[in-house]
Structure 1
Amino acid sequence: MTDRSLSSDVAFTPAVKALQQRKGSRGGYRRMEEKGGWQTTVTPELAAFLAERDSFFLATASADGQPYIQHRGGAAGFLRVIDERTLGFADFRGNRQYVSLGNLSENPKAYLFLIDYARRQRIKIWGTARVVEDDPALIERLRPEGYAGTPEQAILFEIAAWDANCPQHIPQLIAAKDVAAALAERDRRILVLEAELARARAIA
């Protein structure tokens, strides 16, 4: 396999590899490359990770390379697996600046960044994206059930490569709804124990 065919080359450009060489990390990444580079299709593990995410970051760039990152949120699993190389989501109306859509109209290269703060896991996905406005059936298929709002279009993302980062430096954060559920369960358990204690004292 030549360097040109490595999936990780989507990120490891010659300039990046030169810096890795100078700073001492090229050897480790070369060993990764010798095993075939990064994943290029959706695995069961990636599908399970996506199904639990209720937000992600979408990065695009204009024709002259000006980058832009936008947060997308919705119901858990709103970023759907279409097939082993394609992801998609219904794009709901927001502030109507349309920066991401404008960028994709002239530069299809895109990037997804997904993070699970509770488990300190993150996934990076490189690829290309396109906007679909004239397929109502697709848009409805991607619309999360019961989610308020009207989708304006769908965005389909074709995977070029993806990789999982180590948990280093990721702060562990717990979603407010999960904290509330844990506190509610604690309070319920306290009431049960207090009732059991009261009955025991009455018998004594």
Structure 2
Amino acid sequence: MDPYNSGSLALQERLGVRDLAAHVGRSVTPGIRPVAAAFLELQPMLVIGAADPAGRVWSTLLTGAPGFTRATGPHTVSVAGGVPAHDPLAAAFTAAGTPVGTIALDPRTRRRMRLNGIARPSARGFVIEAEQVFSNCPKYLQKRDWYGSETAARPESGVVRHGEALTPDQVRRVRAADTFFVSTTAPDGVDASHRGGNPGFVRVDTPREISWRDYPGNAMFLTLGNLEEDGRAGLLFLDWETGTTLQLSGLAHTEYGPEGRVVRFGVDHTVETPAGSPLRWSAPEYSPANPPAP
């Protein structure tokens, strides 16, 4: 089964990496191997991507004690707790048949795993029927140590800040980021991925537009391929030390020029959640693969 949609295939052909992508694509499986199941059960966080009832795409952070996400069969993953009521994706998980993309990223080991499929509610939270499962290399992934979790209650909807453009403080936070998550969609499903680099690799062009260079990767072009099919995207920025999360939803497209590939994302909606994550992480050890920031 070819894991690529027409957008990804077109980019692979355009950039002359179709043979490499075909080789890498053999690692994509519809089932959850034992090593993948063991990795998932060790993780205290999971990023999920989906569209809300209005069609806006978001990336959302879920957290819990290791084991809150676990494989319950060769094709199913159970996620305890569900999506918080204040999150923009909360309503998307109240009915069966929601396409989702997920990424489990472990900064402690610079390992990451992606699982895409269809979600349905469960008594525990929700279950994902896996359609694509695969790992990525540690490129551009910063190393961090997890040193604990805040035990205070998670934020209520009243403290969540909604907007339609970045505030000055959010601009500063985005410019200082070394990591963010991006979810995209296409007719064949949703994908959640990671982008990393030295601080400054994400540029804020205006409070309504941010951009970043697309660094060389594994030649799959799942994110950019989806953007060729459907420009909707959702970004997630995490303050690793305080737990504040910043979610952005909007439209993105890729430009090709002297800088190489540059993705431009137009901000339509913002959601900032103070202490959105209880997890607390150390300062980063930057990936040696990171190019110098502009």
Q: How high is the TM-score relative to the length of structure 1?
A: 0.65
Structure 1, unpaired ranges of 5+:
140-153, 178-204
Aligned pairs, how many? 147
Structure with bigger strand share is 2
Distance in 2 between the 1:64 and 1:77 partners?
Answer: 32
Distance in 2 between the 1:84 and 1:70 partners?
Answer: 25
Q: Does 1:97 align with 2:86?
A: yes
Amino acid across the alignment from 1:164: S
3-state SS of paired residue (2:29): coil
C-alpha distance 155-93 of structure 1, shift in aligned 2 (>3 A): closer
3-state SS of paired residue (1:99): coil
Q: How high is the TM-score relative to the length of structure 2?
A: 0.46
Moved over 4 A (4+): none
Post-superposition shift, 1:67?
Answer: 0.7
Alignment-derived partner of residue 41 in structure 1: 31
Larger radius of gyration: 1
Alignment-derived partner of residue 108 in structure 2: 118
Alignment-derived partner of residue 130 in structure 2: 159
Alignment-derived partner of residue 19 in structure 1: 11
Structure 2, unpaired ranges of 5+:
149-294
Matching of residues 67-146 of structure 1 within 5 Å: 67-91=57-81, 94=84, 96-97=85-86, 99-104=88-93, 105=95, 108-132=98-122, 135=123, 139=124
Alpha-carbon displacement from aligned partner over 1:21-77 (angstroms, at most 9, x marks no partner) = 1112211112345x5x61111111101101110111111113564211111111011
C-alpha distance 93-110 of structure 1, shift in aligned 2 (>3 A): closer
Alignment-derived partner of residue 201 in structure 1: none
Structure with bigger helix share is 1
Preserved CA contact (<8 Å) 1:110 1:128: yes
Distance in 1 between the 2:71 and 2:28 partners?
Answer: 18
Distance in 2 between the 1:99 and 1:90 partners?
Answer: 18
Amino acid across the alignment from 1:16: S
Percent of paired sites with the same residue: 20
Preserved CA contact (<8 Å) 2:77 2:128: yes
Distance in 1 between the 2:71 and 2:18 partners?
Answer: 33
Preserved CA contact (<8 Å) 1:62 1:106: no
C-alpha distance 97-106 of structure 1, shift in aligned 2 (>3 A): farther
CA RMSD of aligned residues (A): 2.1
Alignment-derived partner of residue 197 in structure 1: none
